[in-house]
Each structure stands twice: as structure tokens, then as C-alpha cells.
Amino acid sequence: MSLYRPRFDPDELPAIVARLLEELGEDVTREGLVDSPRRVAESLRFLTEGYGLDPAAIVGDALFHEDYDDMVVVRDVNFFSLCEHHLLPFFGRAQVAYLPKGKVVGLSKVPRIVDAFAHRLQLQERLTRQIAEALYEVLEPNGVAVVIEARHLCMEMRGVEKHEAETVTSCMLGAFRNDKRTRSEFLELIRTRG
């Protein structure tokens, strides 16, 4: 899995943000905006830090040999991302499952992998597939399933202005794609609430 690492010049990005604010008709010397170019640059660095993160490195040595082959589900992994079309946020929940094949992963690694891909300019469809494929590659399980439900501010704040509309995407690999019963069990587990 190749990693694109964007170039961040600590001085250049705030200058670009200042120029953008000026193009919008703002006075970057006014009190409320004086530090905004730096703050926006820091925010963008944080929101796109996922480009430099490798899923295998995230998992590291948290892969444990275990004679367990039943489904593992991590539900309601909250995430935030930026839509690559408008650079506006989208956010929601990821439901992630895998069927171990002799190895289980430390549970905190699943949300970390979700965040690694969410902290890039994204499409929800690509985000869903990237999470599933990374887990499938790193864990080598019998199957992986990912369902993401998200709200997109590019759809709520502009364009069609449809407030609270949710987009749902899924990616099923291995047994989740090939076995209807496994897929149904997963979908039932993510629907069930205590």
C-alpha cells in the first residue's frame, strides 16, 4: 500500500490561507483573523495527517495468535473527515467486523485504522473500501466487513441543502461477501442495540 505524503512548509501554508482569506474579501490584519492563517494551517495538518500513516505500522505488534474464529465487531467508531470535492467535513460512524483466522488484533487498532483513512481528503465510498482492504491485508482474516453511515456538510450547507440526510456505504470481503449467513449475522449485530 503506497503512501502519499503531502509537503507541508510551516511558513507557506499559513501564507496560502491568508491569501485565500484576502480573496474572500477579508482583512487578515483585523483582530479576529490575525492568527487564523496559522490556526487553519494547523487544523489542515491534523485533518490530513492520515496520509503519512501505514495500517501495518498502526497494528504493529498488537496482532495476537488466538484460536478464535467467530466474528469480532467494533461498532460505532465515530470519525470526522473532509470531502475532497468541497473540503467540507463529513462525519459519522463506522461499523467494522472481521472473522479471525488464528490471529486477533488489539481492539484499539480498529478505530486507529478508521482514523488513519478518515484523516485524508476523502470520498465516503473510498474510505469504506480502504478501511476494509487495509484490515484484510494486515490481519489476513477469513473476512472483513465495513459499513459507514455519515452526514456530509457539503450536502447540508450548500447544494441541495438536505439536513440530516445520511449516506450509507459498505464493503464486504472474503466470507462476508461470499456467505449470506455471515453477512446477515453482521448486519443484525450492528442493528442490535442494548
124 is catalytic: yes
Q: Which of 10-14, 112-116, 124-128, 176-180 shows the lowest mean pLDDT across its residues?
A: 10-14
- Domains of the chain by range and CATH? 12-47 (no CATH), 60-191 (3.30.1130.10)
How many CB atoms sit inside 10 A of residue 76's CB?
A: 13
Element (H, E) at 43: helix 36-47
pLDDT band for position 70 (cuts 50, 70, 90):
very high
Given a contact cutoff of 8 angstroms between Cβ atoms, the answer to whether 97 and 176 are in contact is yes
Q: Is the pTM of this model over 0.85?
A: yes
How many CB atoms sit inside 10 A of residue 33's CB?
A: 17
Task: Return d(Cα 15, Cα 28) in angstroms, integer.
Answer: 11
pLDDT band for position 15 (cuts 50, 70, 90):
very high
Task: Return d(Cα 132, Cα 165) in angstroms, integer.
Answer: 24
Mean pLDDT along residues 53-61:
95
65 is catalytic: no
Mean pLDDT score of the chain: 93
The per-residue pLDDT for 8 is: 61
Task: Return d(Cα 7, Cα 54) in angstroms, integer.
Answer: 17
Q: Single out the catalytic residue among 26, 49, 86, 140.
A: 86
Give yes or no for residue 128 having a pLDDT over 70. Answer: yes
The per-residue pLDDT for 157 is: 87
The per-residue pLDDT for 83 is: 96
Given a contact cutoff of 8 angstroms between Cβ atoms, the answer to whether 59 and 136 are in contact is no
In eight-state DSSP terms, residue 26 is -
Give yes or no for residue 62 having a pLDDT over 90. Answer: yes
163 is catalytic: no
Q: Single out the catalytic residue among 12, 42, 66, 85.
A: 85
Give yes or no for residue 150 having a pLDDT over 60. Answer: yes
Provide, rounded to the nearest whole percent, the portion of the chain with pLDDT above 90: 86
pLDDT band for position 2 (cuts 50, 70, 90):
very low
Q: Single out the catalytic residue among 83, 122, 130, 171.
A: 83
Q: Name, in order, each residue with C-beta under 8 angstroms of 22's C-beta and a sequence gap of 6 or more.
A: 28
Q: Which residue has the cell 490556526?
A: 39
Q: What is the CA radius of gyration of the chain?
A: 19
Q: Single out the catalytic residue among 26, 140, 149, 154.
A: 154
83 is catalytic: yes
More confident residue, 163 or 20: 20
Give yes or no for residue 170 having a pLDDT over 80. Answer: yes
pLDDT for 37-53, tens place per residue?
Answer: 999 999 999 999 999 89
Q: Single out the catalytic residue among 95, 119, 122, 124.
A: 124
The per-residue pLDDT for 164 is: 83
152 is catalytic: yes
Mean pLDDT along residues 137-150:
97
Given a contact cutoff of 8 angstroms between Cβ atoms, the answer to whether 156 and 88 are in contact is no
Give yes or no for residue 1 having a pLDDT over 50. Answer: no
Task: Return d(Cα 74, Cα 118) in angstroms, integer.
Answer: 16
Helices (H), ranges, 55-179: 55-59, 109-118, 124-139, 153-156, 175-178
